[in-house]
């Protein structure tokens, strides 16, 4: 059985990825932080459709919590390892930089960037030992072009792209691929407070993307068909 861990997997893009990977035959490990109801609903849907899933609650922004959660999972699965890691968890704390508070900067980088480092490092050894692994980092169009009011978010997501390129070179010989996906405006909880009417005018396709469309791309990058793709950042933005 191959296991896939999706951080922030209870809602939005993470939820769609979890459901898609379960349909691809992975036993899905759904990480979440607070929303027990949403996490349970995602798990129940996967199971109802014939898939396998389990919940793993921990704060990706806390290195100690990551260590404890992974250790407990490995104790329950002594003969298994996480074959696919999707670093999806992220938060927004938008503000103009001149007004941005330390907490707004630190919390975004802690969740969107530092979590990638701590969790990926913890799971990487097993992938290298087994000579197979897929790491997919969910970046953002903000990390590609920058967005006003998102200096913190753009910095974290751009750094994630750089880390993707560097790590891909370190682990390619062991058949571990590392890629990034950079969504644009996607219908999800994270974009619920945005003015879709105005923002759609910026998108050549004149619509927001769907979480399922992002999930399809992630599932491809996690598959054997994508074995020769690594170090890449693929934008999914409707032409933005």
CA dihedral sign, ordered 9, 211, 133, 80 = positive
Residue 185, Cβ neighbours under 10 Å: how many?
Answer: 19
Q: Coil, strand or helix: which one is 6?
A: strand
- The number of angstroms, rounded, from the C-alpha of 200 to the middle of its chain's C-alpha atoms is 24
Active site residue 153: yes
Between helix 12-23 and helix 211-222 the angle, nearest 10°, is 50
Cβ(217)–Cβ(236) under 8 Å? yes
- From 26, 32, 153, 228, active-site residue: 153
User: What is the C-alpha to C-alpha distance for residues 87 and 90, in angstroms, rounded to an integer?
Assistant: 9
Integer CA distances (angstroms), 5 to 17, 89, 151, 208, in order: 10, 11, 28, 26
User: What is the C-alpha to C-alpha distance for residues 215 and 18, in angstroms, rounded to an integer?
Assistant: 8
Catalytic residues: 153
């Amino acid at each position: 059985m191959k296991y896939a861990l999706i951080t922030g997997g209870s809602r939005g893009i993470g939820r769609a990825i979890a459901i898609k990977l379960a349909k691809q035959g992975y036993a899905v490990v759904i990480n979440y932080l607070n929303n027990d109801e949403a996490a349970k609903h995602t798990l129940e849907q996967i199971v109802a459709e014939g898939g396998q899933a389990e919940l793993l609650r921990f704060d990706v922004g806390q290195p100690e919590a990551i260590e404890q959660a992974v250790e407990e999972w490995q104790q329950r699965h002594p003969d298994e390892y996480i074959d696919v890691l999707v670093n999806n968890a992220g938060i927004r704390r938008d503000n103009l930089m001149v007004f941005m508070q330390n907490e707004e900067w630190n919390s975004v980088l802690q969740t969107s960037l530092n979590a990638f480092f701590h969790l990926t490092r913890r799971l990487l050894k097993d992938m290298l030992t087994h000579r197979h692994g897929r790491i997919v980092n969910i970046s953002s169009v903000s990390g590609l072009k920058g967005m006003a009011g998102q200096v913190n978010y753009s910095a974290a997501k751009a750094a994630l792209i750089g880390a993707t390129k560097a790590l891909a070179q370190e682990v390619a010989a062991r058949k571990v691929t590392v890629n990034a996906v950079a969504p644009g405006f996607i219908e999800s909880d994270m974009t619920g407070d945005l003015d879709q009417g105005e923002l759609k005018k910026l998108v050549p396709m004149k619509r927001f993307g769907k979480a399922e469309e992002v999930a399809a791309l992630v599932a491809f990058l996690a598959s054997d068909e994508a074995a020769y793709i690594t170090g890449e950042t693929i934008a999914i933005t409707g032409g933005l």
